[in-house]
Amino acid sequence: MATQPIIHIRGLRNQFGAQVVHDNLDLDVHRGEILGVVGGSGSGKSVLLRSIIGLQTPAAGTVELLGTNVRNIKKSQLEKQTGVLFQSGALYSSMTVAENISVPLIEHAKFSRREAALLARMKIALTGLPAHAADLYPAELSGGMIKRAALARALALDPEVLFLDEPTAGLDPIGAAAFDKLLVTLRDALDLTVFLVTHDLDTLYSSCDRVAVLAEKHVIVAEPLATVSEFDHPWIQDYFHGPRGRAAIQAQTRLHQED
């Protein structure tokens, strides 16, 4: 991995009125890695994501993306450099899947509608959706298909950094495992850097190179999973060594044995 972080955060402070969500938060994300971000309810995982992509203005601190302070990056440029998959998918309900994916291609890359439609179908195939999904509306899609369609739209402009907010939330275990595998495949094939907010332990074990834990208003540790899981902090011990944590470890052990 490159020594220069692709995301560089120092002294970040986010607050809403008197409520301080982050205080003196530091974090680096390295090129080509999948970083999983976890934390308890109210720890500000999604707020941190929004701060990096310019949707939340911090009260203090700096956020650099690709070597430039996010405050100095034009919105149009930021949208070309990053792809975002929000938890709900955030697809336009009145548009087909292909039309949803075409929107950024037409608005930001200035492709014609015909060119955008062809590229949209390529992105659909890239994310493992069947070809006929291009002509379906969001209401006609399963939960797993919605996630893949939203991922295809996030990848429309060939971003360098991909941001995912709880991408496997609401999926059944088989669908979630398939999405995790797809994510690693796309990272390797497209040389992506991935910032992944999740609560899914299976995703952490199967997809992430490192895990950053938010607690006490900052990142208390950001290391490979084996190191993080043994970190001496009550929330980490409960999270990784409780019933769900043990089940995730057992599941990964079985997968490795089958391989």
Predicted confidence (pLDDT) per residue in 183-218, tens digit: 999 999 999 999 999 999 999 999 999 999 999 999
Instruction: With respect to residue 114, please indicate whether it lies within any of the assigned structural domains.
Output: yes
Instruction: With respect to residue 122, please indicate whether it lies within any of the assigned structural domains.
Output: yes
Residues contacting 214, CB < 8 A, separation 6+: 22, 25, 37, 38, 39, 40, 43, 44, 45, 48, 220
Report d(CA 125, CA 161) in Å as an integer.
20
pTM score above 0.85? yes
**What pLDDT is stored for residue 2 in this prediction?**
46
- Residue carrying the six token digits 């797809």: 182
> Whole domain around residue 141: which residue ranges?
90-159
Instruction: With respect to residue 76, please indicate whether it lies within any of the assigned structural domains.
Output: no
Query: Per the structure, how many domains does the chain have?
Result: 1
Q: What is the mean pLDDT of the chain?
A: 91
Instruction: With respect to residue 136, please indicate whether it lies within any of the assigned structural domains.
Output: yes
Sequence-distant contacts of 58-62: CB under 8 A, at least 24 apart: 58/12, 58/13, 58/14, 58/22, 59/13, 59/14, 59/15, 60/11, 60/12, 60/13, 61/9, 61/10, 61/11, 61/12, 61/13, 61/24, 61/25, 62/8, 62/9, 62/10, 62/11, 62/12
Instruction: With respect to residue 178, please indicate whether it lies within any of the assigned structural domains.
Output: no
**What pLDDT is stored for residue 201 in this prediction?**
92
Q: CA separation (Å) from 217 to 30, 70, 150, 204?
A: 22, 21, 30, 21
**What pLDDT is stored for residue 59 in this prediction?**
95
Q: Pick from 42, 55, 47: which is nearest to 12 by CA?
A: 47
Instruction: With respect to residue 145, please indicate whether it lies within any of the assigned structural domains.
Output: yes
pLDDT in tens, 69-110: 999 999 889 988 999 998 777 899 999 999 999 999 999 999
